[in-house]
Amino acid sequence: MQYNVAQLLKEPTGGVRRYALAEDIAQIDPDLSVLGPLVGDVQLMRTNSGILVTGELSTAVRSTCNRCTEPVAVALRFSLSEHFRPLTEVETGRYLRPDEFEGEADDLEDAALLISDHHILDLTEIVRQNLWLTLPMYPGCNWQGPGECPNLVKMLAELSDVRLLRDDSSSLDEEESVDPRWSALLALRDKTQGEH
């Protein structure tokens, strides 16, 4: 995701380059499990003080469902809109100071938004940050309805079946091994459980 923008920097304001993107980003971040390439379109436009990059990008990552803790594929789509500034002037090679540009001081010093002194614009860090920002805070399985996680519903049904089997077998064992003097209390317990 590196672009040589030397020629674009020589053009007047409004000059544009468009690129179709299909990049393997498996190594973009060790904490992200990327499932596919980054695809989309980006546009680089010359501004009075640098290059404005805009685009629509998408990919998929593996995450964990917040409800059932099973692995889940999450599709990520995001819009890109960042302004990059050059470190050097194309024609002369002169270093360009941040105070020669418009914008917030923090943005002007952000290393991810600088065009290298060899006029290479690198989108890698900006894409990595946007992947993390786009990832849902609470990823979930494919929802079948409002608030329903199919894996969780299935797991709860299985747990309920196991509990019913356990309760049935334990009550039989209990009745066989209980001292007859306690039968009145057992009958009272069964009656109160039936009311709830």
68-121 confidence digits (pLDDT tens): 788 888 899 999 999 998 888 777 777 777 666 665 666 566 888 888 888 999
Distance of CA 142 to the CA centre of its chain: 15
User: Which pLDDT belongs to residue 102?
Assistant: 61
Write down the pLDDT at residue 21: 93
Tokens, residue 69: 């803790």
Q: What is the pLDDT of residue 82?
A: 93
Length of the chain: 196
State yes or no: pLDDT of 173 exceeds 60. no
Q: Which has the closest alpha carbon to 39: 57, 27, 25, 17? A: 57
For 77, counting Cβ atoms within 10 Å of its Cβ (0-12 exposed, 13-18 middle, 19+ buried), the class is exposed
**6-42: pLDDT as tens digits:** 999 999 999 999 999 999 999 999 999 999 999 999 9
Handedness of CA 160, 164, 165, 171 (dihedral sign): positive
Identify the pLDDT of residue 176.
58
pLDDT score at 15: 94
Predicted confidence at residue 165, as pLDDT, reads 63
H helical segments located in the chain: 6-10, 105-109, 124-134, 150-177, 183-195
What's residue 20's pLDDT?
95
Q: How far apart are alpha carbons 30 and 7 in whole angstroms?
A: 34
For range 158-166, the mean pLDDT: 67
Q: Looking at the predicted structure, is the pLDDT value of residue 171 above 60?
A: no
Whether the pLDDT of residue 1 is over 70: the answer is yes
DSSP string, 36-58: S-EEEEEEEEEETTEEEEEEEEE
Average pLDDT over residues 125-146: 82
Entry pTM: 0.70
Query: Who has greater pLDDT, 43 or 142?
Result: 43
